[in-house]
Structure 1
Amino acid sequence: MTEAAPENVDEYVAGFPPEVRDVVEAVRQTLLRAVPTAVESISYGMPTYSVNGRRVLYFAGWKHHVALYSVPTMAPTLEKELANYRKAKGTLDFSLTRPMPYDLIERLARALVEVQGKR
């Protein structure tokens, strides 16, 4: 039997062991600070951030990393900073064994909102 999917982001975060939960919550707060107009929801079983009705970014916590999803190729200067975190098309993985680059995540979230607004 599988666990029920979380109904909201609070439930999602609460489902992690403490050492992962703290980082997942910090990523969440970073995204909310970067995009205060974002609406949080759960989609595809993970936290989703939407602006003006458009899904901009998803993230998920894992045992060894936190991943951000649906991240297109960004402007060259930002993309250069993201290069070490790219694992698959549209996916960034941030290892839990290294310092979390909250500043980079915040700048990325702001840039994504700007890019999405032009589509």
Structure 2
Amino acid sequence: MSNKKCPRCGRELESTNLDHCCDKENAIDAYIAAQPSGVQPLLQRIRETIHAAAPNAIEKISWRMPTFWQGENLIHFAAFKKHIGLYPGGEAVGVFAERLAGYKTSKGAIQLPLDKPMDHKLIADIVRWRVENLNG
């Protein structure tokens, strides 16, 4: 497999399956701006909730999703047609299983339906738990 080069910055990319963002400071802004107008405020509020719960985390795009990183990926989130996906990892989903009973979940993923209010306290609690339980 040959490496792919970013046309903007010239960086060699090891995988064609992962996004690369040259402008890391505006990457999540650009992601949110590219979503439907009705979803943008929901994504921005989730971003603010995660940032408040993990103020030392770095924002980036990973696996084509907004990601908060603090020595490892803490949490990803992404917009879909009928939900926002939240990806805190399998262990977090297990720990919060009781509080997630009303949501569709799978290994490491939580679906937050767009037609229901977002539980920002739950999101913040999951993120704080992730920060407290970082590997390393």
Runs (5+) with no aligned partner, structure 1:
none
Pairs within 5 Å for 1:31-50: 31-50=50-69
TM-score (norm 1): 0.84
| Total equivalences in the alignment | 113
Q: Deviations over 1:12-58 (max 9, x none)?
A: 0100111111101111111001111010000111011111x211111
Identity across aligned pairs (percent)? 32
Take 1:63 and 1:78, find their aligned partners in 2: how far apart are those partners?
25
Q: Deviations over 1:48-70 (max 9, x none)?
A: 1111x211111111121111114
Q: Which has the larger radius of gyration?
A: 2
The answer for the alignment partner of 1:110 in structure 2 is 128
Runs (5+) with no aligned partner, structure 2:
1-18, 22-26
The answer for the alignment partner of 1:79 in structure 2 is 97
TM-score (norm 2): 0.74
Which one has a larger percent helix, Structure 1 or Structure 2?
A: 1
Contact 2:88 2:126 in 1 (8 A): no
Aligned to 2:90, what secondary structure does the other structure show?
Answer: coil
RMSD, aligned α-carbons: 2.1
